[in-house]
Chains A and B, each alone.
Chain A
């Protein structure tokens, strides 16, 4: 029976369920906190040629394009003649995977009746990969931990012991990291079981016809959406903090008919520290930003991603060359959508938001006994925190909400059980949203103190401290971030620092920029903000000319 379009539609729907189940399996079995709690993972199905057919919607747009590209690298490196039933491939190469060593990508070829028909792939952020640990202070990728080149984790169903022993010997939490490698392989296997059931049910022997249907339908819809964007060349630039020197991000968009190109020529050169971004990760976030604005409803697959042609010249900070350090590439990566949306705004007014805090303010805390002889235990605590998003053409920005990342925060009560810290404050930061017809989202303020008997180190990886999120179309900038002790002592926004017992770390997360002229803001919304204390009477008067 030849499948009809309706059959293909139903199978496509099922494929989405198959990859969601693949992702669910990983979320449930992973050790890594960021996978389980924050959804820092990715899972997808690829055809025999390495074209992505379906991908689970998870918390990390940064994996979207990155993983889509990675399977072709595996095919090239392993060689088609060396792909056997029962094989599982692996890598954490930042330039071939998803941008830093902490992300392990696992690819499993799938077979039907002895014939190779495609691949399942998945990526997860592991708790540790050796080296200096998760932070920006390294000067070369070699310091950042163990790099696993593209290789076989298992061949014909047999796991290679050598790799496992190498990993165990090089990471701080060997049980958890190796456990996660097995989880990744298991999640691909779970996806495969469902795929085989579906193929049996629909009586298809390979994925070729279905893949063509999915990819070409998506490609057509994406091109049609791009064609609706007015032609032209639109340039935009944005300055952000970087590690020790400001970084200028420059993008040029070229829209011609149903094609769109973004190029980052003119962007600052590489940093000596781990804020560099491999190009694959830049492409992922640039594409995510454009796709949200142009074709949000088309599911992710090669057909919906390829029409966004994105390049960055090698050697700039958004296309870092080996062996640059890249551990916290997410900081600048999360800021990429702001700059491409700034360019797109010129083509599509009243569509994109103003700039936001954008980069997550993740904080890795290492609590240490003040007295090493006290017998108290060391403890590691990881927190995810978000500032405000930019105001939008028809709505205020979202307060303390992640964008472009999609991760979640954790409960303070749960965090205080994990390590000896007290979070005295985690609340919205009054007055931090940029003024505008639609106000920027508020940032938040967090105060953390080591508990009795402890000091703590933290790895700062915070941006928008020197360069706030700017407004659009007359909207004002959001408040810049601040990193300090509660007594006002200023701290650095990047790098490892210590907070001693009795001191409190205070993080003031940036607010989003405003959208449109503040004078156009609805008076009732100004009153509402005043009642809620989200703006001060002073701001109401100064920014909005509101006297009450």
Chain B
């Protein structure tokens, strides 16, 4: 089967085309005004490289950051929000806190819908879905008038407790659709039927806000592809790491927010399965940010809420919390372009400000004068000035030296090399700390994980990160520069359906749960069928549970069966197992509550071809010896330089070593050795203690 994956990123549009003889990849510059043009160009190049006719392509799989960008840049629809009287300001009051304690001039992000465009209905549901205040049809008609007169391009409806009873939301939506059938209307009880008004309202608003634009773009894309003879169906990668039809994506674009990054996690997960690694930390580092994700038993860890469009140095709380299924990733402002500076205490700080690709690091010679992580790597010998991006971008060592000297070394009274070490060490510390906190939050010990590093910057930094984290094995897969696009090709068709249903375990109502789960399954299956009708599928059931009185639920995996009253005990013990993993102990004597249910239906993917593992190898041919700065040893070391292509299966090189290829450079520190693997990966293993 011939399939093509396309990832639109901020700078590049990546294409990966899988055909019976192999994989063809390419990168083209992202076209901001006509994103679909870059896709067509990229597919044409990849197909030509592979010798494949465009008409022979059988599936197009697409992921994009355009939805997120549209939210960040506020380029969405003129939107009205209809909510319950008394709750007009939920999205503006947020969590009522400041995400930065010491900044007197802190500003909060503007709400996505202006206050005058938020309207209220005199109605109210109770927490069990009981009607506390009925909705007056006359008020519904009046509201329709208001919306039509306002000239809105889209409408979001979010009423209190609508996850428990959505009759009022439906009544309002029906009236709007009857009056204006082509007006896009999003319902919180459809888009995100979960308890907690703030994330649910945010989610339905985000969906409605981007929907006209996304629907328009996807429509154009499909048409342009067809014109270019690509008649294959188009599928989208959703944030949860599975595929949905382009029609579903146009209805629920909020599911696409983390579409691109999720592809990277799937890419890493595929290698984790092939290498039989059940505990993996994926580490993806690019020019501006680094992303970390836990992959256990071959599946990226997922969550049902995340924060999008952070406005303040990637700070938690400075964005907008939405509740939609997502591959859980920690993102920090650390990349090759991250700028180093000195704070008021004379400390070197790195990022989150980035020189990005324009002007880029000082050594690019495009006018950048501030020292970046890439400049520091160059000064420390980790990058070769004459062989960066396969020699396409000559690097100016003198420019890096000048930037580091004037901005860092001279003010601190230290040598440029030492300042450069300070920069890379600080950025590595920041990434290592983020990884450590993330594993702790998940109740895991990071020492037991294997790292998979990809993206342009990861192979330069991953080995040092492993030293800091006590990780003994690091896998660097091939094709790391277009990892997300390749990941798209490995994704199953999947859909996660969720529903808030509040119960105490001591009053477990099996009938209500079974009814809910049947509905969730039917919903999820209907979406999966759009891409994979008749395919073998799996289901994954999760209950979100907590002790009574606690504020947050934990996910509890359960077998998907028809429950009876007697299953309460088993559910309780599953909760206790999950709680123990996360928090180290359980609490006797407290009531237990279930708040939400989630059911994933996914098509079964063929097993990843197992990679033959080589733990040792014979010495690969050394091109030359060059020097780089080994941070753990605190000195320059003589390193072997090896071509990546020379490290075929069973070929090895002892650290210190530098492995070069046109896309990136892999640094093997003195404490590690690298062994080529059967699938083109590099395995870096810590040497035995001497």
Residues of A at under 8 Å CB distance from B?
1, 4-6, 9-10, 12-14, 17, 20-21, 24-25, 28-29, 31, 33, 36-37, 39, 57, 59, 61, 127, 175-176, 179, 186, 190, 194, 197, 201, 217-218, 220-221, 224-225, 291-293, 296-298, 351-353, 384-386, 392, 394-395, 398-403, 406-414, 416-418, 422-428, 444, 447, 451, 531-534
Is there contact, CB below 8 Å, between B348 and A413? no
Apart from the given pairs A186-B584, A407-B96, 15 other A-B contacts in the complex at a CB distance below 8 Å = A6-B418, A13-B433, A24-B441, A28-B582, A31-B550, A33-B550, A36-B550, A190-B440, A353-B104, A401-B96, A402-B98, A408-B97, A409-B97, A426-B86, A531-B115
* B105 sits at the interface (CB 8 A): yes
Query: With the chains together, A448 CA to B547 CA distance in Å?
Result: 25
B196 interface neighbour in A25, A221, A400, A411, Cβ under 8 Å? A411
Chain B, range 106-124, C-beta contacts under 8 Å to A: 106-108, 114-116, 124
Query: With the chains together, A155 CA to B124 CA distance in Å?
Result: 56
Chain A to chain B contacts (Cβ below 8 Å), 28 pairs: A6-B418, A6-B422, A6-B425, A9-B347, A17-B433, A21-B437, A24-B440, A25-B440, A28-B582, A29-B584, A217-B345, A297-B345, A298-B345, A384-B96, A399-B92, A401-B108, A406-B101, A408-B96, A409-B95, A409-B96, A416-B127, A417-B195, A422-B126, A424-B86, A428-B89, A428-B93, A451-B126, A532-B115
Chain B residues with Cβ below 8 Å from A412 are: 87, 160, 197
* B88 sits at the interface (CB 8 A): yes
User: With A10-B429, A531-B116 as given contacts, are A413 and B160 in contact (CB-CB < 8 Å)?
Assistant: yes
User: With A14-B429, A24-B437, A398-B108 as given contacts, are A422 and B422 in contact (CB-CB < 8 Å)?
Assistant: no
Closest B residue to A28 using CB positions: B583
Is there contact, CB below 8 Å, between A410 and B551? yes
Is there contact, CB below 8 Å, between A427 and B88? yes
Chain B residues with Cβ below 8 Å from A221 are: 344-345
* B468 sits at the interface (CB 8 A): yes
A292 interface neighbour in B93, B104, B590, Cβ under 8 Å? B104
Chain A residues with Cβ below 8 Å from B104 are: 292-293, 296, 351-353, 392
Is there contact, CB below 8 Å, between A20 and B437? yes
* B132 sits at the interface (CB 8 A): yes
- Measured CB to CB, the closest approach of chain B to A23, in angstroms, equals 10
Query: With the chains together, A59 CA to B114 CA distance in Å?
Result: 29
Chain B, range 156-213, C-beta contacts under 8 Å to A: 160-161, 195-198
Query: With the chains together, A31 CA to B588 CA distance in Å?
Result: 13
Is there contact, CB below 8 Å, between A6 and B421? yes
* B689 sits at the interface (CB 8 A): no
Chain A residues with Cβ below 8 Å from B345 are: 217-218, 220-221, 297-298
Closest B residue to A353 using CB positions: B104
Is there contact, CB below 8 Å, between A296 and B587? no
Query: With the chains together, A9 CA to B410 CA distance in Å?
Result: 17
Chain A residues with Cβ below 8 Å from B107 are: 395
Is there contact, CB below 8 Å, between B425 and A10? yes
Chain B residues with Cβ below 8 Å from A451 are: 126
Q: Mark B572-600, 1 if CB is under 8 A from A, else 0.
A: 00000000001110011110010100000
Chain B residues with Cβ below 8 Å from A127 are: 549
Query: With the chains together, A298 CA to B101 CA distance in Å?
Result: 12
Top 6 nearest A-B pairs (CB, nearest first) are A425-B86, A532-B115, A296-B102, A17-B433, A37-B551, A409-B96
Query: With the chains together, A400 CA to B106 CA distance in Å?
Result: 14
- Measured CB to CB, the closest approach of chain A to B91, in angstroms, equals 11
A9 interface neighbour in B93, B426, B552, B634, Cβ under 8 Å? B426
Is there contact, CB below 8 Å, between B86 and A403? no
Query: With the chains together, A534 CA to B93 CA distance in Å?
Result: 13
Chain B residues with Cβ below 8 Å from A426 are: 86-87, 90, 93
- Measured CB to CB, the closest approach of chain B to A465, in angstroms, equals 20
Most B CB contacts (10 A, CB to CB) among A1, A179, A386, A413 go to A413
Query: With the chains together, A409 CA to B92 CA distance in Å?
Result: 13
Is there contact, CB below 8 Å, between A428 and B92? yes
- Measured CB to CB, the closest approach of chain B to A204, in angstroms, equals 14
Chain B, range 314-355, C-beta contacts under 8 Å to A: 343-348
Residues of B at under 8 Å CB distance from A?
85-90, 92-93, 95-98, 101-108, 114-116, 124, 126-127, 132, 160-161, 195-198, 343-348, 412, 414, 418, 421-422, 425-426, 429-430, 433, 436-437, 440-441, 468, 470, 502, 547, 549-552, 582-584, 587-590, 593, 595, 634
Chain A residues with Cβ below 8 Å from B502 are: 417
Query: With the chains together, A146 CA to B372 CA distance in Å?
Result: 56
Most A CB contacts (10 A, CB to CB) among B86, B590, B634 go to B86
Is there contact, CB below 8 Å, between A14 and B433? yes
Query: With the chains together, A423 CA to B441 CA distance in Å?
Result: 33
Query: With the chains together, A246 CA to B513 CA distance in Å?
Result: 56
Query: With the chains together, A401 CA to B87 CA distance in Å?
Result: 16
Chain A residues with Cβ below 8 Å from B418 are: 4, 6
Most B CB contacts (10 A, CB to CB) among A10, A298, A384 go to A10
Query: With the chains together, A13 CA to B588 CA distance in Å?
Result: 39
- Measured CB to CB, the closest approach of chain A to B365, in angstroms, equals 28
Query: With the chains together, A59 CA to B124 CA distance in Å?
Result: 33
Is there contact, CB below 8 Å, between B347 and A398? no
Total cross-chain contacts (CB, 8 A): 199
User: With A186-B584, A426-B86 as given contacts, are A297 and B344 in contact (CB-CB < 8 Å)?
Assistant: yes
Query: With the chains together, A291 CA to B105 CA distance in Å?
Result: 14
Query: With the chains together, A533 CA to B95 CA distance in Å?
Result: 21
Closest A residue to B345 using CB positions: A221
User: With A414-B196, A417-B502 as given contacts, are A398 and B98 in contact (CB-CB < 8 Å)?
Assistant: yes
Most B CB contacts (10 A, CB to CB) among A31, A392, A399, A414 go to A414
Is there contact, CB below 8 Å, between A532 and B105? no
Query: With the chains together, A234 CA to B422 CA distance in Å?
Result: 43
Chain B residues with Cβ below 8 Å from A190 are: 440
User: With A9-B347, A417-B195, A422-B126 as given contacts, are A17 and B93 in contact (CB-CB < 8 Å)?
Assistant: no
Is there contact, CB below 8 Å, between A175 and B116? no
- Measured CB to CB, the closest approach of chain B to A501, in angstroms, equals 14
Chain A residues with Cβ below 8 Å from B441 are: 24, 28
Query: With the chains together, A5 CA to B468 CA distance in Å?
Result: 19
Is there contact, CB below 8 Å, between B196 and A402? no
Is there contact, CB below 8 Å, between A175 and B96? no
Chain A residues with Cβ below 8 Å from B126 are: 416, 422, 451
Query: With the chains together, A536 CA to B46 CA distance in Å?
Result: 61
Query: With the chains together, A385 CA to B87 CA distance in Å?
Result: 15
- Measured CB to CB, the closest approach of chain A to B322, in angstroms, equals 14
- Measured CB to CB, the closest approach of chain B to A179, in angstroms, equals 6
User: With A31-B587, A175-B590 as given contacts, are A401 and B97 in contact (CB-CB < 8 Å)?
Assistant: yes
User: With A9-B422, A292-B104, A427-B86 as given contacts, are A21 and B436 in contact (CB-CB < 8 Å)?
Assistant: yes
Query: With the chains together, A225 CA to B634 CA distance in Å?
Result: 34
User: With A411-B195, A417-B502 as given contacts, are A392 and B551 in contact (CB-CB < 8 Å)?
Assistant: no
Chain B residues with Cβ below 8 Å from A417 are: 127, 195, 502, 593, 595
- Measured CB to CB, the closest approach of chain B to A360, in angstroms, equals 9
Is there contact, CB below 8 Å, between A413 and B582? no
Chain B residues with Cβ below 8 Å from A409 are: 93, 95-97
Chain B residues with Cβ below 8 Å from A422 are: 124, 126, 132
Is there contact, CB below 8 Å, between B97 and A406? yes
- Measured CB to CB, the closest approach of chain B to A438, in angstroms, equals 11
User: With A37-B551, A398-B106 as given contacts, are A217 and B346 in contact (CB-CB < 8 Å)?
Assistant: yes
Chain A residues with Cβ below 8 Å from B422 are: 6, 9-10
- Measured CB to CB, the closest approach of chain A to B102, in angstroms, equals 4
Most B CB contacts (10 A, CB to CB) among A31, A33, A412 go to A412
Most A CB contacts (10 A, CB to CB) among B88, B90, B96, B590 go to B96
- Measured CB to CB, the closest approach of chain B to A404, in angstroms, equals 9
Chain A residues with Cβ below 8 Å from B87 are: 412, 425-427
Query: With the chains together, A414 CA to B596 CA distance in Å?
Result: 12
Most B CB contacts (10 A, CB to CB) among A6, A411, A414, A532 go to A6
Chain B residues with Cβ below 8 Å from A10 are: 422, 425-426, 429
Is there contact, CB below 8 Å, between B86 and A447? yes
User: With A10-B429, A413-B195 as given contacts, are A532 and B116 in contact (CB-CB < 8 Å)?
Assistant: yes
